[in-house]
Amino acid sequence: MRARVPSLLRFAVALAVCVACMPAQAGSLERFQAFIRTTQSARADFEQKVYDRNKKLVQESKGNFAFLRPGRFRWTFSKPYSQLIVGDGEKVWVYDEDLNQVTVRKLSSALGATPAALIAGNADIEQAFVLTDAGEADGLQWLDAKPREKEAGFERIRMGFGLAGIDAMELVDQFGQTTLLKFSNLQRNPKLDAGTFRFTPPKGADLLGQ
């Protein structure tokens, strides 16, 4: 049985954090705060690797995304399996093409004290997360974001900032699974068509959720 995408929340958050242009000498917390102030939209390509608690690679995927704060995003997995995640500002849609299945949730229930809350990118973000500067490693400045709620599903999120913005992201869940993301071809504040963030379930698809 093939590995599925672990959680839509795990990836939605990446839409909100991977395109900031930050001062080269700023720490990670300053860079993230600057992103909140200056980035309203973005698009980029990504590569993702998922490891189990024993550090064994269990999944690799590639794709692209676009986002428009608050709450609108489109995350497309193109390899090795086709999957689409769309946030339209009110709901989050997950379409698995191979299964011809659509899962839908209210956006409000997909946010809160979860990684996806970073999408909102507003002044209230520290009510949901404890943000700390984690110093430099591997040539990047790292920021730790720890959920305040025990039921958030994640132990921590780490964001690695380079000279051009955020270069990498690491998410560790409560089962010890680690998801690593690397970004490329980042475009900050592009003009995005509103239709990018609309989704209509394909005819005949199974519809699950709210």
Residue 56, SS3 per DSSP: coil
Q: 199-206: long-range contacts at Cβ-Cβ below 8 A with a sequence spacing of 24 or more?
A: 199/84, 199/86, 199/88, 199/93, 199/95, 201/93, 201/95, 201/102, 202/95, 202/100, 202/102, 204/100, 205/95, 205/100, 205/101, 205/102, 206/99, 206/100, 206/101, 206/102
**Tell me, what's the pLDDT at 14?**
40
**Tell me, what's the pLDDT at 177?**
92
| Backbone angles phi and psi of 42, in degrees to 5 | -165, 160
Both structure tokens of 171: 């998410």
DSSP code of residue 21: -
Which residues of the chain fall short of a pLDDT of 50?
A: 1-25, 112-117, 119-121, 123
**Tell me, what's the pLDDT at 155?**
81
- Distance (Å, whole) CA 166 – CA 159: 7
**Tell me, what's the pLDDT at 8?**
45
- Distance (Å, whole) CA 16 – CA 158: 13
Q: Are 18 and 158 in contact (CB under 8 A)?
A: no
State the greatest distance between any 2 C-alpha atoms of the chain, in Å, as a whole number.
53
- Which residues fall within 8 angstroms of residue 160, CB to CB, at 6 or more apart? 28, 137, 138, 140, 141, 142, 166, 167, 168, 169, 170
Both structure tokens of 110: 């997909």
- Distance (Å, whole) CA 16 – CA 77: 17
**Tell me, what's the pLDDT at 53?**
93
Q: Domains of the chain by range and CATH? A: 8-193 (2.50.20.10)
**Tell me, what's the pLDDT at 110?**
57
Q: Which of 182, 130, 179, 178 is nearest to 160 (CA)?
A: 182
pTM: 0.76
Q: Which of 65, 71, 20 is nearest to 46 (CA)?
A: 65
**Tell me, what's the pLDDT at 151?**
66
**Tell me, what's the pLDDT at 106?**
83
**Tell me, what's the pLDDT at 15?**
40
